[in-house]
Amino acid sequence: METPGNLFCVAAPSGAGKSSLVKALLELDSHLQVSVSHTTRAPRGQEVDGREYHFVDEASFMAMVAASEFFEHARVHGNLYGTSRKAIQQRLQAGADVVLEIDWQGALQIKKIFPHAVLIFILPPSWEELMQRLNRRGEDSADVIVQRMANARTEVAQARHFDYVIVNSLFETALFDLKTVVHSQRLKYAAQRRAKSQVFGALGLG
Ligand code: 5GP
């Protein structure tokens, strides 16, 4: 799929700071848009249907899978999550850059269908720091934290398949790194040719 917009997939184990980094990036960069995923998990706290996620039951989700409505989908921590094909294709074709906050399985599926996608993995600086962040955030019970730490080992092992890796030791530095990746991607020859096809055409650049 050749589109003028760029697609960025950001993955990380929970507690690495992915959501805060993506949120800060979106505030700084008006050309970037997020895609709201579908999930079968129940809403948490202040989450609103259609804002954080489209919350659906398993039967509706499976009907969307059967109708090929997802670009990618995966089971993560026992729940189903998926990125709607329509939502991102329209935006990329309209020239927007789209950022997906998804798990590593989804990111690897996307890379197969959309080789231009840029995969970014956020790493914690250490296992100890990850554990401390999960404890500090106070969202999860001790059992859930043990489970998240076990999952994190599997997830972190996937970082080798990603294009870029950012170690989130200091938030501001990690944010700068993320902005740099986005900006560098936009300046690549192939990305510029897709985004500025008229300029390239007029200059005789194929
Ligand atoms: P949470 O339930 O904590 O919001 O998200 C759990 C995990 O699912 C996170 O790693 C999140 O990035 C991932 N996730 C969210 N949306 C999607 C999606 O559309 N596809 C995939 N593959 N993972 C997703």
CB 37 within 8 A of CB 54: yes
Ligand 1 atom, smallest distance to 52 CA: 4
Residue 98: strand pairing partners:
7, 33
State both tokens at 156. Answer: 């972190």
**Residue 122 pLDDT exceeds 80:** yes
pLDDT at 87: 84
**Residue 138 pLDDT exceeds 90:** no
pLDDT at 47: 94
Burial of residue 134 (number of CB atoms within 10 Å: 0-12, 13-18, 19+):
buried
How far, in Å, from the CA of 93 to the mean position of ligand 1?
Answer: 24
N-term to C-term CA, the chain = 17
120 phi/psi in degrees, rounded to 5: -120, 130
Assign a CATH topology to domain 7-35+96-202. Rossmann fold (3.40.50)
Rounded to whole angstroms, the Cα distance separating 165 from 94 reads 28
Tell me the whole-structure pTM to 2 decimals.
0.95
pLDDT at 34: 94
**Residue 170 pLDDT exceeds 80:** yes
* DSSP secondary structure code for residue 38 in this structure: E
- Whether 83 is in the pocket of ligand 1, judged by its Cβ within 6 Å, is yes
Ligand 1 atom, smallest distance to 10 CA: 12
* DSSP secondary structure code for residue 41 in this structure: S
- Whether 87 is in the pocket of ligand 1, judged by its Cβ within 6 Å, is no
pLDDT 10s digits, 9-40: 999 999 999 999 999 999 999 999 999 999 99
pLDDT 10s digits, 79-100: 999 999 988 999 999 999 999 9
**Residue 206 pLDDT exceeds 80:** no
How far, in Å, from the CA of 189 to the mean position of ligand 1?
Answer: 31
- Whether 13 is in the pocket of ligand 1, judged by its Cβ within 6 Å, is no
Mean pLDDT score of the chain, rounded to an integer? Answer: 95
What are the sequence ranges of the domains in the chain? 7-35+96-202
